[in-house]
Chains A and B, each alone.
Chain A
Amino acid sequence: MALTITCPICGKRNGYEFRFGGEEKGPRPEEKDLTPQAWCDYVHMNKCVAGVQEEWWFHKDGCGSWFKILRDTTTNLEQAAGEAAK
């Protein structure tokens, strides 16, 4: 495999320029009624999807931005947003 990631600022680049930042889980939970289970779920738990997932990447050897992409974990290929909706 030779992963490439498309940075919204720098364009398509070698995957090793980036760092994976986890599955998309939404913003930090609100303080109110926060249970240890819900917190653990937010911090540690993953769906480990075998297929297209929405996920975060950081362009460490580039512009330094965090951004989301859709990637198929069974092929390591990025998906255009429209494709995934199908």
Chain B
Amino acid sequence: MKYLDEYRDADLTRKLLADIQKTVTRGWTLMEVCGGQTHSIIKSGLDQMLPPEINLIHGPGCPVCVTPLELVDKAIALASRPDVIFTSYGDMLRVPGSARDLFAVKAAGGDVRIVYSPLDALEIARKNPGKTIVFFAIGFETTAPANAIAILQANAQGLTNFAVLVSHVTVPAAITALMDSPDMQVDGFLAAGHVCTVMGFWEYEPLAAKYKIPIVVTGFEPIDLLHGILECVRELEAGSFQVRNAYARSVTREGNKPAQAVIQKVFEMTDRAWRGIGVIPMSGYRLRDKFAAFDAEKRFPEVQTIETKESPVCISGLVLQGRKKPNDCPAFGKECTPQSPLGATMVSSEGACAAYYRYGRYGK
């Protein structure tokens, strides 16, 4: 397939691997931030082809995985209401809440529907004026513009039966939190190409300077990833800590200005809880007061009282922080499988545990 096969080319892979091998002189630990990158690395077998000096750890950039359990429970409470049609991206449906998942709500008669875009949820709202349509607005900066547009459209069209359950998070705040944690061992970051397509990479420049760590904007295909790794290793070997763009076919320094403007218009920064990590200050978006009418938590205030604690067995928090590998977990592949997941990292196909399980990394 054009524009994909070129980035999965075996010859180019060998060449880039040889370049990395030639460049590297000592061990380096790199974190790919985004779950989509983790998925691609494991699916292509890239992690097993890299020189042993390169240690990849998998970052917190899976929106499904970092959505706190409490919010999943709120979603389940909303979806169980007979006056609500609950809409969500597909892979959120299997995330276990403290008692059950959204699939179970559906089986018990709740109206839960998979949509591919919040605009599809708007369409459902137009067709079902007697119900409130709640969209589960999760994700990083990547999905925020579409969600913001849905709010703006609903507002403009006077669609009062549409609301969103917001759990938006942002990458720079996560990198800051990781770098501030005491036993952090990451030498360099591969930043998430899709997030940077929207936001640009100027935000990362002060982080690279403050923590003296190279950050390379990286894409998602094997060749993109190798390119990002090579750039990052070059920076490290040269003792430099710049922000580099290894995904120039999609990303500019300034990013997508109109998309940023739409986010600005609808959302404002707020503290957010990250599953397995805890509350990170100013690490996500919430609806501006002007759009409070579209906030599902305000529309159905009873969900605000829901409070949930995480499972004590699951180490997904450590996995999300890159401090443990999925197969370091005693429950991995035993009590915890994609069929009956203990934590969110086993649920989403972008989650590190699911990627390890699916593509077979049983105890190295």
A, B: real partners: no
